[in-house]
Amino acid sequence: MTNRKMFFTMLWGAVFRRRSRAMMAVIASLVGAATLFCLASVCVAVPQQMNEEMRAYGANLIVTPASATGKSQGIDTATVRNVTALVGAGHSVKSAAYRYESVRINSAPYTIAGVDVKAVRALNRHWNVTGDWPGSGNVMVGRDVADALGVKVGSRVTIGYRAADASASASSSASAKSDSDESAETAESSAQGTQSTQTTQGEQTTQATENGRVSSDIMDNNGTEFRIAGIVDTGGNEDSIIYATTADVSKLAGHERGADVVEYSVNAMGDELNAIVNRINKNTNTAVKAQTVTKITSSDTRIIAMLQTLFWIVSLVVLVLTLVGVGTTISSIVSQRRNEIGLRKALGADSRAIGVEFYVESGIYGLIGGLLGTAIGYVLARVLCATVFGRAIGFDWLLGAGSLLLSVAIAVIASIPPVRRATRIDPAIVLREE
């Protein structure tokens, strides 16, 4: 019998003659591999899943005109398409454009936003709307507006557009679609530029006074009658806005122009999202300024950082416990085979051959435990993601290979102390005891 054949024969016997000890080592590796693979799979999937979930709570990027001329004219449709192409390069994206105007209801100033209802509805799925969304001749008012006016769904209000009031709504219209100081600053300056242009247009045109759209009398309650189709309640700045279709706002103001703000909900975060912002700002052809919505992006980053920190802490604990479990089992195996080791050394086996045999034996335990643990870990991760996020995750083969190699490495490393003790056994002492 060759040395190699003898080696594998002894290895086979060592593994299968002591099934209970071998099973304990495999179970220790299995638990560690299952826990680590489950946590790693969830940790890899969470940023993407969390980002998708957070996209239901509004935009994480806004675009406003960069120049004074652009602020007065708004962002035209062609520019919106170009910017959307830049934002959506390699990412899924939703967008909605908002045109803000100053209006009066019962002589009190309010801000009305002209929107594409379908786009806004898809972007802001978290909005709590009682009734219907805006339509032709129908508006949706924020909860604060409804409470101030004392109206409900089905009520009718007369909305008057006064160009001279344009600058009065700059701050409110700006803050309504901004969740950070930077966003508010940009939106506010955009609204101010827009409103000043509207004032000029109002002074230069006389037809805008028809149907009560423009009046120099602050107490003039003339205007266009709209039906309140719904009331939106978000708990945010949206509650102070009146929403109407873009066509109705253009008709009310007496002229058409581009959007003051375009919101994007893009499936990106962190450095990837900042790269999109920089790409837009460096593109001089678009004449717009992009920035992230700090409130949303910081929430994404903070939650994911907390989850990843928890993952590393738990992983470290699991690694230590796995090392202890496998090391203890191998120590027990070495103790049981102490006489055998002494006899082999007395017959001429060197310490290196004995050590290699134990290391290979430990590696086999780690391999079997890693295979079973990775499979169980994937099932657990799949169930966890399906329960929490309502989505399934695929098997990450690279992560699976890493889990397998780590299991083998941990088993071998854990066996180093007991194997070193085994190779130092004095055969004379062992044989004397026998």
* Length reported for the chain: 434
Q: What pLDDT digit, counting tens, does each position of 10-28 carry?
A: 666 666 666 677 788 888 8
What's the mean per-residue pLDDT of the chain? 78
Question: In the predicted model, is pLDDT for residue 141 greater than 90?
Answer: yes
Q: For residues 347 and 356, what is the distance between their CA atoms, to the nearest angstrom?
A: 17
- Flag the least confident range among 40-54, 118-132, 149-163, 339-353: 40-54
Of the pLDDT bands very low, low, confident and very high (cuts 50, 70, 90), residue 175 is: very low
User: Binning pLDDT at 50, 70 and 90, where does residue 430 land?
Assistant: low
Q: By the 8 A CB rule, do 93 and 119 touch?
A: no
Residue 36: pLDDT band with limits 50, 70, 90: confident
Each residue's pLDDT tens digit, 375-429: 999 999 888 888 876 777 888 899 899 889 988 998 888 888 888 877 777 777 6
Strand partners, 230: 131, 140
> What is the DSSP track for 198-254?
HHHHHHH-SGGGGGGS--S-TT----EEEEEEEEEE-SSGGGGEEEEEHHHHHHHHT
Beta bridge partners of 140: 230, 243
Q: Write down the pLDDT at residue 152.
A: 93
Percent of the chain scoring above 90 in pLDDT:
24
Reply yes or no on whether the pLDDT at 110 is more than 50: yes
Find the range with the poorest average confidence among 80-94, 127-141, 308-322, 360-374.
308-322
Is-contact 427 72, C-beta < 8 A?
no
Structure token pair of residue 398:
């690279």
Helices (H) then strands (E): counts for the chain: 15, 10
| Strand, coil or helix: 69 | helix
Give 164's pLDDT tier (boundaries 50, 70, 90).
low
pLDDT one-digit tens code per residue, 287-342: 899 988 866 556 666 777 777 788 888 888 888 887 788 778 777 777 777 777 77
pLDDT, average across residues 21-41: 85
What is each CA distance from 163 to 69, 160, 202, in whole angstroms? 18, 10, 5
- Residue 305: predicted pLDDT: 76
